[in-house]
Amino acid sequence: MARGYLALVLHAHLPFVRHPEHEHFLEERWLFEAITETYVPLLQVFERLVADGIPFRLTVSLSPTLISMLTDELLQDRYARHLEKLIELADKEVGRTRHTPFHETALMYQRMFRDIARTYHETYGRNLVQGFKRFQDAGRLEIITCAATHGYLPLLMINPEAVRAQVAVAVDLFKRHFGSPPKGFWLPECGYAPGIDEILKEFGIRYFFTDTHGVLFASHRPRYGVFAPIYCPSGVAVFGRDVESSRQVWSAQEGYPGDFDYREFYRDIGFDLDYEYIKPYIHPDGIRVHTGIKYYRVTGKTNHKEPYVPAWAKEKAAVHAGNFMFNREHQIRYLCRHMDRPPVVVAPYDAELFGHWWFEGPLWLEFLIRKIHYDQDTVELITPGDYLRAFPCNQVARPCPSSWGNKGYNEVWLCQANEWIYRHLHLAASRMVELAGRYHEADGLLRRALNQAARELLLAQSSDWAFIMSTGTAVEYAVRRTKAHLLNFLRLYEEIRRGSIDEDHLAWLEWRHNIFPHLDYRWYASEATGS
């Protein structure tokens, strides 16, 4: 019997980037890179663990935008083409690197990309969402979801109906793909504000996560700190992030990913190799991009980089997995002295950290799960749902409004670079609520226009745009997306109000922004006016 629990949570999300109007679109590569480097490798880890009969429990959050993109035929086709080119490049690289210290790594990529193609096409028939579902059905994963377009909810709560719609759309989409509503909910950026829990409760959500101080600064003061969930007065449970386990994986300085034997992210042949050679594999306009083929290891803190040695990196991943487990055992033994129930250590991460940023991340996870099974009996993997079933009685406290962004509150999404968006987002939300109140049972063209207006609003609300603006890189795309969706919304609003809907334009928007085909604009009806 384990003395305490570890709840590993992987939150997978990318903003909705799909441009049917362009043959090649730079930002679509975000998805392609994440499929190759993170989503498929994670599924392959789960496959190997299941094949070896190793029991494990993990929580995976799949955002509705990601679910939509992974199941979109156009993007599936484009990814398939992207992967073919990548395999072609990897084959060439095997030839080019012969008799160099990079050859072994080139062979590794050649093997890896072919394996990924097999998994993608043959094992899952291009539908990775079904892949994740397979492990849910096998009792390995607890899959949850997050807000429809990853809207940063605390700053949308000016219009609670807009937050309710973000949740309603997410829960509806989740049910369609996974057969039952989600038990848990990942608050985008762990952003919590009072009232959000009550909306989650309306949809049967049992739990969500906050950053450490979301639980730690709750009132009344939680007896077990972040090592047991609290209940909001609404009855929804809150799990707080553990500081120690986060730092070990996240921190660029003390964290594992910065180890000198691991692969260096920033040295990619897309930038390093001769233009004529690499041209067919970067953006057709000649913009150099990451190809995913990288030959160097971190090496040290300077720009001098040495060739990557796959065997060393693998060895390091095993060492780090052992270290992480040792620290958890130690932590749990210590906590047990102060608690009258088994502590739960909650360790949430962006899924894309594993594989994309930290190339060896999936391998580390696999080693960790194997070691937890074979090497000790202090720590057991658990999901929040399992924990709440085992320990249904928890302290009641009001969580502290918080996020896991820089400085811990709302500043990342409300700073000088992005504050201008809110006067538009809030106004659009109130107009959407107004439309839903005005038209109770629309059908035909009007219904289509109302639904598309809701889609445009949701897409404008993605926290990703505000985040990108705050970081100062790729700002133009984020600004454009925000403005374009808002303008689309405002135009539809005017057309609906005037009673003259431009059907061609509507059809064009439906084709371009085809997310959430089952969305129902009536989810925006406020409780007072809703039927």
Partner 1 sequence: MTTLFFLLVGVALLVLALGIFLWAGKGRPSPPAAGGEAVSFREEMAEELGLFPATPPEAPAVPPREPELVLPQRYGVDRLVLMVRDPYWLYAYWEISATRQEEFNAAFGPRAWESTRPVLRVYDVTGVNFNGFNAVGYTDINIQEEADSWHIPVGQPNRSYCVDLGRKFPDGRFVTLLRSNVVTTPRSSLSECLDEEWMWIEELYRGLRFPYGVSSPMMAEEVRRRAEVFPVSISSPAFGPPAQEPGK
Catalytic residues: 189, 350
445 in contact with partner 1 (CB under 8 A): no
Interaction with partner 1 in 235-274: which residues (CB under 8 A)? 243, 246-247, 250-253, 255, 257
| Distance of closest approach, residue 490 Cβ to partner 1, in angstroms | 7
Stretch in the footprint of partner 1 (CB under 8 A) among 58-66, 68-76, 278-286, 447-455:
278-286
Give the Cα separation of 190 and 239 in Å (integer).
11
CB of 107 to partner 1, least distance (A): 28
User: Contact letters (x/-) for partner 1, 328-357, by CB under 8 A?
Assistant: -------x--xx----------x--x---x
Q: Single out the residue of 442, 449, 468, 486 in contact with partner 1 (rule: CB under 8 A).
A: 486
* CA pair distance 405, 191, nearest whole angstrom: 8
Amino acid in the structure at residue 357: W
The CA distance from 156 to 152, in Å, is 7
Strand partners, 61: 11, 144
- Give the residue ranges of DSSP H helices in 237-309: 243-250, 269-272, 275-278
Decide whether 119 or 248 has the Cβ nearer to partner 1.
Answer: 248
Round to whole Å and give the CA distance between 216 and 147: 24
Nearest approach in angstroms of CB 12 to partner 1 is: 14
Question: Judged by CB under 8 A, does residue 501 bind partner 1?
Answer: no
Output DSSP code: residue 307.
B
Is the Cβ of residue 108 or residue 157 nearer to partner 1 in the bound state?
Answer: 157
| Nearest one of 490, 518, 492, 459 to 177, comparing CA atoms | 518
For the chain, state the CA radius of gyration: 23
Nearer to partner 1, 323 or 406 (CB): 406
Which of 2, 10, 27, 23 has the alpha carbon at shortest distance from 477? Answer: 27
Regarding 483 and contact with partner 1 (CB under 8 A), the answer is yes
Half-sphere exposure in the Cβ direction for 453 (13 Å, CA): 31
For position 213 contacting partner 1 by CB under 8 A, the verdict is yes
Size of the site for partner 1 (CB under 8 A): 74
Q: Which of 23, 73, 99, 219 binds partner 1 (CB under 8 A)?
A: 219
Which range touches partner 1 (CB under 8 A), out of 53-61, 67-75, 363-371, 412-420?
Answer: 412-420
Among 160, 225, 229, 355, the residue binding partner 1 under the rule CB under 8 A is 225
Q: Are 243 and 212 in contact (CB under 8 A)?
A: yes
Report, in Å, the least distance between residue 422 CB and partner 1: 7
**CA-angle at 300, arms to 295 and 303, nearest 5°:** 70
Q: Residue 147 belongs to what H/E stretch?
A: none
Contact with partner 1 (CB under 8 A): which of 64, 184, 188, 405?
Answer: 405
Q: Which of residues 10-39 bind partner 1 (CB under 8 A)?
A: 26
SS3 462: strand
